[in-house]
């Protein structure tokens, strides 16, 4: 019976697109809830996680971390002095760490807008949020300033030679990540058209990945256990 169940388990895993043994991928999510947008109802305060301006998702991938910065509620990225002149600010002083593979998207569709990322910078200030040491900014600043109304709401890139713990570093003001945004029409606490920085100062959702080897052995155990139960039932009958 056990020899018969293993091929069945493999076939079922393949049918549902499940790898027999998957790496233990871990992602952490930080929401932009702290608001420093002049003229907005939330200025100097915060919105709830459900009302967040956007989120930062970090996923460990070998010795690198994949980063997704996604804005919600029609919000878009913009570059102003309040955000240090960048789209996105973070903290990274790890030797040998770099930013690679940046793509800018609008509602999931890749745009032609080019962006550049830097780490290990001389600490620079973002208004009201303290100092940062890394950023992602538009390669052509004129394409992203307040007057240009850049049309992107997602950033995707990889930070190399770094761990989640190292990238999840607060600055002296207690801020992990900062985004400079142009508020969308449906953003709670901010009238559409206002610009300014928002930050993530707490971990919102730790997301554990699949357990190593849980796919095939788990399913095989389930099927084998079911087989034993069926045999015992038949014997009793």
188 Cβ contact list (under 8 Å, min separation 6): 42, 47, 51, 73
Q: Supply the pLDDT for residue 208.
A: 54
Nearest-CA neighbor of 187 among 177, 196, 174, 200?
196
pLDDT, average across residues 52-70: 98
pLDDT, average across residues 77-100: 96
Query: Does residue 56 surpass a pLDDT of 80?
Result: yes
116 Cβ contact list (under 8 Å, min separation 6): 99, 102, 136, 137, 138, 139
Q: Supply the pLDDT for residue 150.
A: 80
Q: Supply the pLDDT for residue 28.
A: 97
Tell me the pLDDT tens digit for each residue of 104-152. Answer: 999 999 999 999 999 999 999 998 789 999 999 999 999 998 777 789 9
Q: Supply the pLDDT for residue 207.
A: 60
Which pTM was predicted?
0.78
For residue 175, give both structure tokens.
Answer: 């801020």
């Amino acid at each position: 019976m056990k020899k018969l169940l293993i091929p069945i388990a493999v076939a079922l895993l393949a049918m549902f697109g499940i790898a027999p043994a998957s790496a233990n991928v871990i992602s952490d999510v930080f929401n932009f809830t702290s608001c420093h947008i002049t003229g907005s109802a939330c200025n100097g305060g915060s919105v709830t996680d459900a009302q967040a301006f956007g989120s930062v998702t970090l996923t460990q991938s070998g010795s690198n971390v994949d980063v997704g910065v996604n804005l919600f509620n029609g919000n878009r990225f913009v570059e102003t002095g309040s955000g240090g002149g960048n789209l996105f600010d973070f903290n990274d002083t790890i030797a040998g760490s770099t930013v690679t593979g940046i793509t800018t998207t609008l509602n999931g569709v890749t745009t032609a807008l080019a962006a550049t990322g830097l780490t290990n910078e001389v600490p620079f200030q973002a208004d009201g949020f303290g100092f940062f040491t890394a950023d992602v900014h538009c390669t052509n600043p004129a394409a992203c300033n307040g007057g240009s109304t850049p049309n992107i709401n997602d950033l995707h890139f990889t930070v190399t030679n770094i761990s989640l713990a190292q990238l999840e570093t607060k600055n002296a003001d207690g801020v992990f990540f900062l985004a400079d945004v142009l508020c969308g029409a449906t953003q709670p606490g901010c009238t559409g058209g206002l610009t300014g920085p928002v930050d993530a100062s707490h971990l919102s959702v730790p997301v554990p990945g699949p357990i190593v080897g849980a796919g095939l052995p788990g399913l095989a155990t389930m099927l084998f256990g079911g087989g034993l139960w069926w045999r015992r039932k038949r014997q009793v009958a």
